[in-house]
Structure formats: C-alpha cells, structure tokens
C-alpha cells in the first residue's frame, strides 16, 4: 500500500528525533564519566522522547555519587553524681571492630560505681584513646568511630521509571532499631537482622522473645505468670568449699609507690567532710535468741524461692520501723541554709567489703518492702558488689547507714557518719554468752553488740537512746514487727 507524503515525512521526523536523542544520551554518558562529580550536564528537553519509545537503560537514574566516610570522636559523657574522672577497667572492642548503636564499648570504674559505656554510632572503631587502667576525664574522647556520612548529591539524568515491588518481597525498616547489647548478640548468633524483627517492647524495642518468635516464625508468646511452689522442695546442702590457704607473707625489698584508685579518692573526700561533724556514740547489747529461732524456720522456705535469708533483712526492717518514730535520724542537715530536711523514703545504706574496697549501696524505700523483698535486694547488691558491677543509682541516695563489721570480727566500733546523713550504726559479732532468764536460771543466749554514731548538732543523746531501745525491742521480739508493718 502506498504511503502518502505527509505520513512519510512524519515517520522520518520521528526516526530522526530518536537517533538524535540516542546520540545526545551517549555523549552525555561519556561526559559524566570524564567530568567531576556535581559538574553541570546537559538536560534532555521534555517531550522529545516518549517513555514508551525510550530504551530501557534510559529509564534509570544515572548517579555518580559515592558514600562519604567520616571519623567521629566518641566522648565520655557526664554519668552523673558529680563524677569527673573514671578508670577504664575493660575494653569490649578493639581497633577494626564494627559496632552498632547500644553495643558495649568499655567498662569504666568511678569512685561511686562501675558503668558500662555503650556506642552512640554505627561504624568501625579506628582508635582507642586509653589503655586498661587509664584515667579518662569527663568530656574527653574514648574512641574514634568511622561512620558513613551523607552521600554526595546525585545527578539525575532522566526521570526514573518506578519499578513495581513484588508483593511477597519483605520490606526492611530503614530506622535505628532499639535493642540491648544482649539482644543484639542473640540476633548475631541466629544470623537475624534486627531490621526484620517486629519489636514488641517500649517504643518498638526488640526483645529476646521477639528474636525467638522471629526464628520460629511465630508471634511472641506471653511470658508465663509466676506461680510459687505449692510444697517446699527438699534441699540438698551444697558441699562447703574448704577455706583458701593463708598466703605466706612476702618481705618487701624496697618501698613501693602507687597511684591511689577511685575508691580511695572517694573515701578521702567523704572522710574530710565527715571530720566536720561532731560525732557522739552510743552502744548496747541485743539478745537475738528469738530472731535466731525465727530465721531457722524461714531460711529453708526462702531458699525454695531462690533467696538466701540472713539476719540482715530483719535488722534493716527493724531500723525502718524505728525511724518512723524518730524521723530526725532519717534527715539531713544544711548548715548554710540552717534547715533540716526530713527524708520520706528510708534508703538504708549497707556497707560492704568488696574486692574493690569499701562500698555502701542502699536499699531504696525500705518502709514499703517486706523482709523477703529486702533479702532479695540484699542478695542482688551483694552479687553486684562482688563482681564490681554496682551502678550509680545503687550507690547513691542513702539516708541512713548500717555497717555489719561483725561479719568479719569485733564487737564494738566507732562508725563514721557519711554526709549528708546524720546517723550510722555498726553491728558487732554475734556471740553465744550466758544470760540469766527471768526465772533466775542461767541459759545460753545469742547476743550482738551495736554501736551508734549521731550528729550532735541536731540529735541529742536521749533521742539516740530511745531509738536504739525501740530498734532493740523489735529484734528481741521479732513477732512484734508484724504489728507495725504496713
């Protein structure tokens, strides 16, 4: 069939436009490859080439950008409680390691607590600023992390054609996933990307149950409710390990000088302030025979619940009950403002002998806790103290202190008040001694001594004696504590 002249001219014009457009695009690609990134490039006039006639490669955006890498300093931030310097005790990373947000970087020891520092960036560690046992100041850099910066501006050449995504293709979250370092380690063990896991925690935080549910392909099941055992299980006493042999004394050949650690420096500052307080002492003896029998009845029951029961939880609870009657002993004195602050919460601090030295963590809000709950908190603090893992919150906020020096030995002591508190008690060793009963017969009794120190600027001797008598009455008749417990 013959084609009319107008039709042949229209087809020739269209073909010439396609050839011209292809030539322009080839020259443009050549230009991109030989020019600097960001240089101006010729743009195609709109309408010269319709999408259905354009080749497939012309429908994709051409980009000449590369990711830019930058190194950021990760500084030691303020960890509170007036801490200005810390000692680096352990590094969890080394140069070349890849880290993500919230991954553990190092553990530092201050004069108040042991703190684990976590990463704020995703990247690669390029430098560690301190060796183990090095001293770092607040605000100084700890590590350098190489992170991927913002990509350079891409130079679009033609509009990118939208590609349809298959409906069965999983969509990954392009957000920072919230998860603890322990959960991240679990995800690495199962080769699971946290971006693929649906977090059920607060603010979408991924929990270990979410990891398990993702691996099993099911939604996370709720945790079973705790049900106490109906009958106590028989206990098999664990064999007692023999005491370690006493090391032989070593004679020093010459004097040795070493730098004081954070615990010693903190103790020095505290004792300097304590020397400004006019102390007065008061001592007494407490017959704990009834408490010894009560503890023997409850010890096995507490063990079935996973808690080791000592005498200390009863002593701590008796202290709190007596403080309800004598709130002046649970106060703090401000000599500059000439005010006394009566603390509503009984945060009983308990001195502990740890491998790091003397630490005094506190049991918070004892007035609201049962004896069993106090025992559980004491177990937790003792385990953390032995491992050097006590946090700043554990070590701060005490309003009244007790020192169980009798667990090591000795009877009477002269405890030193920990400012800004106004009183402290030291418990001596419990001993079996002969005592006369009300009928006049001689019988053995378990007796413990106690030594109190109080701030004589706001507490007089009569108040301290009355408080001690009430505290003593609770311990000598432990059943009476039930009457006053909230």
The tokens describing 218, both together, are 């099911």
Neighbours of 224 (CB within 10 A): 6
**Residue 90, preceding peptide bond in cis (omega within 30° of 0):** no
211-221: burial string, b at 16+ Cβ within 10 Å, e else: bebbeeeeebe
Query: Which DSSP symbol is given to 457?
Result: T
Tokens matching residue 310: 């000592």
Phi, psi of 89 (to 5 degrees): -95, -30
> 210 an active-site residue?
no
| Structural contact between residues 418 and 396, judged by C-beta atoms closer than 8 angstroms | no
Q: Which helix (H) or strand (E) holds 317?
A: helix 312-325
Question: What CA–CA distances, in Å, run from 251 to 248, 254, 255?
Answer: 10, 9, 11
Alpha-carbon dihedral sign for residues 108, 345, 377, 314:
positive
**Closest by alpha carbon to 194, among 271, 321, 102, 124?**
102
Report DSSP letters for 273-315, one per residue: HHTTS-EEEEEEEEE-HHHHHHHHHHHHHHHHTT----SHHHH
CB 447 within 8 A of CB 459: no
The pair of three-digit structure tokens given for residue 276, joined into one six-digit string:
């400004």
73 Cβ contact partners less than 8 Å away, ≥ 6 residues apart: 141, 143, 144
Q: Which of 144, 279, 284, 456 is catalytic?
A: 456
Q: Which two tokens stand for residue 77?
A: 């931030």
Q: How many helices (H) and strands (E) does the chain have?
A: 10, 18
Phi, psi of 484 (to 5 degrees): -105, 0
Residue with tokens 């029961």: 309
The CA distances from residue 421 to 307, 315, 341, in Å, are 30, 19, 10
d(CA 102, CA 183): 10
Give the three-state DSSP class for 23: helix
Active site residue 460: yes
Write out the catalytic residue numbers: 456, 460
């Amino acid at each position: 069939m013959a084609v009319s002249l107008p039709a042949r001219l229209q087809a020739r014009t269209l073909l010439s436009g396609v050839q011209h457009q292809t030539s322009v695009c080839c020259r443009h690609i050549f230009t991109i490859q030989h020019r600097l990134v960001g240089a101006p490039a010729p743009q195609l006039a709109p309408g010269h080439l319709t999408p259905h006639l354009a080749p497939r490669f012309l429908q994709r955006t051409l980009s000449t950008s590369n990711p830019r890498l930058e190194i950021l300093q990760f500084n030691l931030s303020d960890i509170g409680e007036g801490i200005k310097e810390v000692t680096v005790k352990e590094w969890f990373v080394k140069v070349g390691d890849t880290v993500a947000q919230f991954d553990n970087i190092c553990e530092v020891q201050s004069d108040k607590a042991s703190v684990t520092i976590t990463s704020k960036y995703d990247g690669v560690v390029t430098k560690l600023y301190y060796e183990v046992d090095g001293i770092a100041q607040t605000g100084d850099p700890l590590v350098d992390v190489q992170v991927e910066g913002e990509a350079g501006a891409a130079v679009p050449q033609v509009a990118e054609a939208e590609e349809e995504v298959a409906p069965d293709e999983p969509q990954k979250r392009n957000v920072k996933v919230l998860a603890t370092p322990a959960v991240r380690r679990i995800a690495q063990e199962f080769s699971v990307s946290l971006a693929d896991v649906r977090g059920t925690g607060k603010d979408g935080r991924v929990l270990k149950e979410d990891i398990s549910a993702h691996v099993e392909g099911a939604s996370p099941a709720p945790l079973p409710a705790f049900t106490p055992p109906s009958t106590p299980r028989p206990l098999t006493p664990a064999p007692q390990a023999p005491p370690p042999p006493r090391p032989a004394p070593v004679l020093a050949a010459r004097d040795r000088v070493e730098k004081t650690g954070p615990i010693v420096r903190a103790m020095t500052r505290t004792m300097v302030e304590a020397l400004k307080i006019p102390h007065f002492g008061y001592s007494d003896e407490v017959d704990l025979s009834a408490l010894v029998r009560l503890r023997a009845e409850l010890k096995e029951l507490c063990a079935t619940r996973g808690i080791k029961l000592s005498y200390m939880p009863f002593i701590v609870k008796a202290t709190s009950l007596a403080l309800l009657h004598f709130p002046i002993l649970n106060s703090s004195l401000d000599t500059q403002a000439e005010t006394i602050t009566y603390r509503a919460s009984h945060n009983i601090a308990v001195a502990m002998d740890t491998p790091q030295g003397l630490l005094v963590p506190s049991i918070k809000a004892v007035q609201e806790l049962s004896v069993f709950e106090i025992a559980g908190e004491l177990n937790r603090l003792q385990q953390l103290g032995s491992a050097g893992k006590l946090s700043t919150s554990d070590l701060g906020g005490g309003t009244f202190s007790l020192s169980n020096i009798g667990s090591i030995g000795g009877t009477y002591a002269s405890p030193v008040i920990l400012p800004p508190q106004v009183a402290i008690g030291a418990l001596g060793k419990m001993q079996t001694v002969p005592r006369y009963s009300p009928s006049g017969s001689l019988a053995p009794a378990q007796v413990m001594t106690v030594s109190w120190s109080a701030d004589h600027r706001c507490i007089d001797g009569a108040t301290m004696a009355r408080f001690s008598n009430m505290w003593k009455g609770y311990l000598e008749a432990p059943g009476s504590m039930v009457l006053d417990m909230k």
